[in-house]
Structure 1
Amino acid sequence: MPVYVLTGANRGLGLEFVRQLSANSNNKIIAAVRSLSNDLTDLKALNDSNKNIHILECDTGDVNSITSFVQACANLLFDDGQKIDFLLNNSGINDVPEQTSLSIGEEDLARHISINVLGPAKTVQAFHASSLLSPNVRILNMTSGLGSMEKSATMTPRKCTTYSISKAALNMLTVHQGEELREKGLPGAVVICMDPGWVKTRMGGEDALIEAEESIGGMLRVLHGLSKEDTASFWTYSGEKVPW
């Protein structure tokens, strides 16, 4: 029974990940939400149907919340001797898309870095320290084409500066995690960052081009097809590699 852990599971891309993964009763899914007091109707409905989803709380902008989440995962997994096969760092924000390089807010940038970069960093760190990651774990850090310097340089006008900076930093984190986990006892670990495309979600907005079902289906095909040599690489949902 493969174990999947993902953050940001109550809506958008995260909810669609849970929907597609939970359709296979052999999968065990630990779905993290920022707060258990949020509206979890859709997520709970999936669990009513499939019974293989465990809903836990994790605010990826709060290190203490991440620590508590990892301990809760340990309580679920240790009794069965299971480890995490797939970790999907999906939670993220794009709260100030109107900001440019000439109008970045200090607090806004710090918040984006905290959730979009430090969150995935501390999540992986805590799971590794708790010996919960499989030796062949696959880790997906959800990024964006806006995090690619080469692609951003061709955009006119450029946009979402604060968000883009945080995703470029997440990409660099991915490069480091991809090698350092292997050096620290997980010889088959593969860490990638993934651009889901411009998806019709609340974050993607009304002008987005693709449905969540297509994006998630593509990302799962990439994730399940990764080889050991693919660590520290940048992909799109369609299976193409992205320039840094």
Structure 2
Amino acid sequence: MPINEIAIGRPEDAYHPDSLKCALAEFISTLIFVFAGEGSGMAFSKLTNDSSTTPAGLVAAALAHAFGLFVAVSISANISGGHVNPAVTFGAFIGGHITLLRGILYWIAQLLGSTVACLLLKFSSGGLATSAFSLSSGVSVWNAFVLEIVMTFGLVYTVYATALDKRGIKNVGIIAPIAIGFIVGANILAGGAFDGASMNPAVSFGPALVSWDWTNHWVYWAGPLIGGGIAGLVYEFIFNHNTHEPLPIADI
């Protein structure tokens, strides 16, 4: 059962050289992902004179995030597991694939990566605003809350099926980062017009901090974390029960 695999971890999980290397990999991959994703939105806004979201803009955002995440996961998968998302890290923790202490280290690295990416974007674009995620007209916080739960469930479930399931790694291989990028791109097409389709607290945190706009920000934390946690529980309880291979103690 997943609950038996959950571990706080040892103090050295927060400062061991291997943990710090993993954190650095998460920082770099999150920076690359957010720079590409947020940057695409800023570029489109500049090209269209800050017009409202259009179908073309939604497709551009979906492609930029899908391609960016594919690269971000690929370059860090062999080092840190390629989480690039606090919700993925939380889902992995719920399933016993990472300790709490190392997970917190991942969170810090991911939030810093997103923040630095947004600062670099603001500087290199001549001071253009990094827009915080917001709700579209007619969409309530509870609509967005449920939407974020469902979309992040799909994302973290995909991560489990293609990357964390030890049975799948042998057969799927490089398909994992492709599938993860695709599900994010597809979810942006489905939910981007409603609440921006974050699915990632780090992606929401950087723009909110740099622009200092925290309106309804809790939705982009609560929704993804709940969705990621549910995905971890569902996959471990139903599909990975009695077949789970916990990470070696030395690697946790």
TM-score, L = length of structure 2 = 0.29
Question: Whose strand fraction is larger, Structure 1's or Structure 2's?
Answer: 1
Question: Whose helix fraction is larger, Structure 1's or Structure 2's?
Answer: 2
TM-score, L = length of structure 1 = 0.30
